[in-house]
């Protein structure tokens, strides 16, 4: 590497420095009202029709962007499902591209899971009937076609799922949808001069994941939300392809994490900074009782491996290289408090009733999962000589079952990450993180997860209660979507 980071920063030039990520200059493009997605209640009695469509969406002043979405121009409705009931929905495909609908985080059979072996071809309709049996939680759905997932999600094929558990004790948390219980899909996207998103990862942005230079929440650039005075629950999904967020409030206020991927934590945890990797979800409760507006910020994503952030800037699709280099925070969105409205919840419960308890037995087996970026050698890959990323030296092959698991057996999965931090996702269950880098992780600090950001090594406790056959196996993969599409994925059956 003859080029130093300083050279790269100089080469990247001022034209690539997005003002959007630097301080308040954002108002030029951001500041729209936060869109609240429609809420659809799914049940057994009827199957509403949700079509994937192509559309022109207005993100930027006076410009339209070609996007795809589930039933709307970009993203999709929140689909609410009840534990113990079948959730039915008919998913049509009205775009010219084969897609799928993966129910990320759901404990459902492989045949229902919506992975790469369950394509929905153009003009076809998927009659989904999901057997919902898992704790109340915030999940999501997105397209999951092998080697196309990054593109599909980038252009908009994603939405949230809420699981409700009618038999669980009331958690005492805010629960009025769109008022004091607000979904936030946080994503980064880049727009070209003509207003189009142009998903074209290559070189370093393929290697390290594709990052945008604008921050979108529910499809609006750095929006403003109006919230009642009092406790507000935010259900946050990192719907980005690669970017890791380190959320915090500009005024430094503390907030409480109340749930992670798999549902409620046993008790709220006070935080001032919260890291969220791609595909992870978190629920937090923020006290807006002082009626002061608050800006939600993020520290920059430094998960660039040995290449650093400068090269990303040169590729024109990163956050401001300046902001990354300086360690500056960037804006995600702003909350304005409507003092004439008071939230229903005045006091955060100290114990979260209805939180799931982990259900694992004595592990009977260990498996290793080595997430590898460098299969063909770093320079070989940079020159285009390498083929794919891999897990355990195997790049994803739709025709190969990598692991065979026995239903109901508890195992330990040893996951190790190469070069960068990788968000490791497993289909079909929620797991418990037992340790990271050799240190015990107490259950109440992370709760149940289906994505874990592996920085070194992690030990996961897994137990599958649903089955997946060789025709529709489950997947495990890195959720940096460029890594997944390049083959950092494997398949397994459960029987």
CB 283 within 8 A of CB 247: no
Closest distance between Cu ion and the C-beta of residue 482, in Å? 8
Whose Cβ is closer to Cu ion: residue 31's or residue 203's? 203
Whose Cβ is closer to Cu ion: residue 146's or residue 295's? 146
What is the four-CA torsion angle of 237, 238, 239, 241, rounded to 10 degrees?
-160
Q: Six-digit token pair at 63?
A: 């410009």
Closest distance between Cu ion and the C-beta of residue 184, in Å? 24
Closest distance between Cu ion and the C-beta of residue 390, in Å? 11
Whose Cβ is closer to Cu ion: residue 144's or residue 483's? 483
Closest distance between Cu ion and the C-beta of residue 483, in Å? 3
Binding site for Cu ion (CB under 5 A): 422, 478, 480, 483
Closest of 313, 71, 34, 68 to residue 196, by C-alpha: 68
Whose Cβ is closer to Cu ion: residue 303's or residue 472's? 303
Closest distance between Cu ion and the C-beta of residue 311, in Å? 17
Burial 14-39 (b: 16+ CB within 10 A, else e): eebbbebbbeeebeebbebebbebee
Phi-psi region of 226 (alpha: psi -120 to 50; beta: other; left: phi over 0): beta
Closest distance between Cu ion and the C-beta of residue 448, in Å? 22
Closest distance between Cu ion and the C-beta of residue 2, in Å? 27
Whose Cβ is closer to Cu ion: residue 334's or residue 372's? 372
For 450-469, the DSSP string reads SEEEESSEEEEEEE--S-B-
- Distance, in Å, from the CA atom of 402 to the CA atom of 413, rounded to the nearest integer, reads 14
Whose Cβ is closer to Cu ion: residue 82's or residue 206's? 206
Closest distance between Cu ion and the C-beta of residue 488, in Å? 5
Closest distance between Cu ion and the C-beta of residue 237, in Å? 18
Whose Cβ is closer to Cu ion: residue 244's or residue 258's? 244
Whose Cβ is closer to Cu ion: residue 374's or residue 401's? 374
Q: Which residues pair with 461 in a beta bridge?
A: 412, 432
Closest distance between Cu ion and the C-beta of residue 424, in Å? 8
Whose Cβ is closer to Cu ion: residue 295's or residue 479's? 479
DSSP state of 27: G
- Distance, in Å, from the CA atom of 167 to the CA atom of 84, rounded to the nearest integer, reads 9
CB 156 within 8 A of CB 140: no
- Distance, in Å, from the CA atom of 446 to the CA atom of 443, rounded to the nearest integer, reads 6
Closest distance between Cu ion and the C-beta of residue 148, in Å? 17
Phi-psi region of 327 (alpha: psi -120 to 50; beta: other; left: phi over 0): left
Q: Where are the beta strands (DSSP E) in 83-157?
A: 86-93, 102-104, 125-131, 137-142
3-state helix, strand, coil in the chain (%, to 5): 15, 40, 45
CB 83 within 8 A of CB 135: yes
- 341: helix, coil or strand? strand
Whose Cβ is closer to Cu ion: residue 51's or residue 418's? 418
Whose Cβ is closer to Cu ion: residue 212's or residue 268's? 212
* Integer Rg of the chain from CA: 21
Q: Six-digit token pair at 106?
A: 């759901």
Count of residues making up the chain: 495
DSSP state of 419: S
Closest distance between Cu ion and the C-beta of residue 209, in Å? 7
Whose Cβ is closer to Cu ion: residue 144's or residue 256's? 144
Distance of CA 169 to the CA centre of its chain: 28
Closest of 306, 211, 265 to residue 18, by C-alpha: 211
């Amino acid at each position: 590497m003859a080029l130093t980071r300083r050279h790269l920063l100089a080469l990247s030039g001022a034209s690539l420095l997005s003002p959007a990520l630097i301080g308040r200059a954002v108002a030029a493009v951001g500041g729209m009202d936060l869109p609240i997605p429609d809420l659809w209640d799914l049940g057994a009695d009827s199957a509403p029709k949700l079509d994937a469509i192509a559309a022109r969406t207005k993100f930027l002043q006076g410009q339209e962007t070609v996007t795809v979405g589930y039933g709307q121009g970009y993203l999709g409705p929140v689909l609410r499902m009840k534990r113990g009931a079948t959730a039915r929905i008919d998913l049509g495909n009205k775009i010219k591209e084969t897609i799928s609908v993966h129910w990320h985080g759901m404990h459902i059979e492989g045949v229902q899971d919506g992975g790469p072996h369950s394509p929905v071809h153009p003009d076809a309709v998927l009659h989904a009937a999901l057997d919902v049996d898992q704790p109340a939680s915030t999940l999501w759905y997105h397209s999951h076609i092998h080697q196309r997932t990054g593109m599909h999600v980038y252009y908009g094929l994603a939405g949230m799922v809420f699981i409700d558990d009618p038999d669980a004790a009331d958690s005492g948390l805010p629960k009025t949808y769109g008022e004091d219980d607000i979904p936030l899909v946080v994503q980064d996207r880049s727009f070209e001069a003509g207003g189009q998103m142009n998903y074209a990862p290559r070189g370093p942005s393929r290697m390290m994941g594709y990052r945008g230079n604008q921050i979108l929440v529910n499809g609006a650039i750095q929006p403003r939300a109006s919230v009642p005075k009092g406790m507000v629950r935010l259900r946050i999904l990192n719907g980005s392809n690669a970017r890791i967020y380190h959320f915090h409030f500009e005024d430094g206020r503390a907030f409480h994490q109340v749930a992670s991927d798999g549902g409620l934590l046993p008790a709220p945890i006070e935080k001032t900074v919260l890291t969220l990797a791609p595909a992870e979800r978190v629920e937090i409760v923020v006290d807006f009782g002082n009626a002061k507006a608050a800006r939600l910020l993020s520290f920059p994503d430094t998960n660039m491996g040995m290449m650093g952030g400068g090269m990303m800037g040169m590729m024109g699709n990163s956050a401001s290289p300046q902001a990354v280099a300086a360690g500056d925070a960037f804006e995600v969105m702003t909350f304005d408090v409507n003092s004439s409205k008071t939230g229903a919840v005045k006091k955060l419960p100290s114990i979260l009733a209805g939180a799931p308890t982990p259900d694992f037995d004595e592990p009977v087996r260990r498996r290793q999962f080595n997430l590898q970026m460098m299969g063909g050698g770093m320079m070989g890959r940079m020159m285009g000589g390498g083929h794919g990323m891999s897990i355990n030296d195997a790049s994803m092959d739709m025709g190969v079952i990598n692991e065979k698991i026995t239903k109901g057996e508890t195992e330990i999965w040893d996951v190790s990450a190469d070069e960068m931090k990788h968000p490791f996702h497993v289909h079909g269950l929620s797991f418990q993180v037992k340790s990271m880098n050799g240190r015990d992780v107490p259950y109440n600090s992370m709760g149940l997860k289906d994505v874990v950001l592996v920085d070194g090594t992690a030990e996961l406790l897994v137990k599958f209660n649903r089955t997946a056959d060789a025709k529709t196996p489950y997947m495990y993969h890195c959720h940096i979507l460029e890594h997944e599409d390049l083959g950092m994925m494997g398949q397994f059956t459960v029987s």
